[in-house]
Structure 1
Amino acid sequence: MAFKYFLEILVLAVCVEFGSSIRCYECNSANNSMCLNPTIYDTETVQKYLRATSCDHSAFLGPNPPAAKQMFCRKIIQTILHKGHDAEVRVTRGCGWVRHHKDCYKADNEDHLETVCQCFTDDCNGAMTLKHSLVITFISLGLILLKYY
């Protein structure tokens, strides 16, 4: 009987992430070319060279992030227009705190074009997302509970 409860606590401890902050990739293609398109790299390389950060500890936010706002992940693609030169594309991934009413939107300024996308799950602004991990966790937990009850 004690083993059953130990197993349930162990499954919960392994599968449930504590805390309320979201984890996002944080990079700028100006100094990390992998930030442009991480989908062309394997998972191990992305994990090694593309920094993921907890949004409550984001370098871009400083020491006191806006606590009243719910943080999210954001990806910004900028096409910088240089007069007389080729356009330059830059990608910035990081944490956001001022939401837009659309998940993705475009901005057109005099010197650059911008596409901004926001998302609300861990590492969603990177190459690969684990959308099904929560479903798999609950199915596994359900199967374990069915076996022991």
Structure 2
Amino acid sequence: MTSTNKLLCTFFVLLSMVYKASSIQCYYCNSANNSACIDVKAFDDETRARIIPVVTCETAIPSPVAVDFFCRKIVQTIFHSHRDSEVRVTRGCGWVRHHKECYQANNQDHLETVCQCTSDYCNSAEAADPTSAAVLFIALATALYLYR
């Protein structure tokens, strides 16, 4: 084996030992005990940093098998038989993905919308409306086509 081949072989062996770890940071709160969790965008950055916890999913969730973390936001409307319905928002980390970015579950006692996303602090926003995004894309494409 030539010295160049040995060097390349050593390089690839070392490269194969490198484990790429990525961590994502998500808001972590529940409006049942933190009313600021309902709308985290309502606060300026300094206030939000003080009252709404942020976690790094990789270190916050002790699970040796969960490596593909993402942020999740769950909005539940809880129906009560003897009083008004209540809306509860939960933000945190997830590790078992659903095939849809957002989905709904409708049960007898509650309705929930769950959205998942893969960038830091992305569980702060409302779910994107695909219809609005499509209309915006078509309008932008038309404008660019006419402008050229």
Superposed, which structure 2 residues align to 1:73-88 within 5 Å? 73-88=71-86
RMSD: 1.6
Deviations, residues 38-65 of structure 1 (Å, cap 9, x unaligned):
111111111111111000222xx4xx32
**Which residue in 2 is equivalent to 1:55?**
57
**Which residue in 1 is equivalent to 2:29?**
27
Instruction: State the distance in 1 between where 2:83 and 2:74 align.
Output: 22
Instruction: State the distance in 1 between where 2:56 and 2:21 align.
Output: 10
Asked if the contact 1:71/1:97 (under 8 Å) is kept, the reply is yes
Higher Rg of the two aligned structures: 2
- Are residue 71 (structure 1) and residue 69 (structure 2) matched? yes
TM-score (norm 2): 0.67
Instruction: State the distance in 1 between where 2:66 and 2:57 align.
Output: 13
Instruction: State the distance in 1 between where 2:90 and 2:33 align.
Output: 10
Shift, 1:26, TM fit: 0.3
**Sequence identity of aligned pairs in percent?**
58
Asked if the contact 2:58/2:67 (under 8 Å) is kept, the reply is no
Asked if the contact 1:72/1:96 (under 8 Å) is kept, the reply is yes
**Which residue in 2 is equivalent to 1:90?**
88
Instruction: Please list every run of at least 4 consecutive aligned residues from structure 1 whose deviation after the TM superposition is greater than 2 angstroms.
Output: 66-69
For structure 2, the 5+ residue unaligned runs are: 1-19, 126-148
Shift, 1:67, TM fit: 2.8
Instruction: State the distance in 2 between where 1:41 and 1:88 align.
Output: 22
Shift, 1:21, TM fit: 1.2
Shift, 1:69, TM fit: 4.1
SS of corresponding position for 1:93: strand
TM-score (norm 1): 0.66
Asked if the contact 1:74/1:125 (under 8 Å) is kept, the reply is yes
Instruction: State the distance in 2 between where 1:67 and 1:43 align.
Output: 34
Shift, 1:111, TM fit: 0.5
Instruction: State the distance in 2 between where 1:66 and 1:104 align.
Output: 26
Shift, 1:123, TM fit: 0.9
**How many corresponding residue pairs?**
106
Q: Using CA pairs below 8 Å that are at least 6 residues apart, which structure has the higher relative contact order?
A: 1
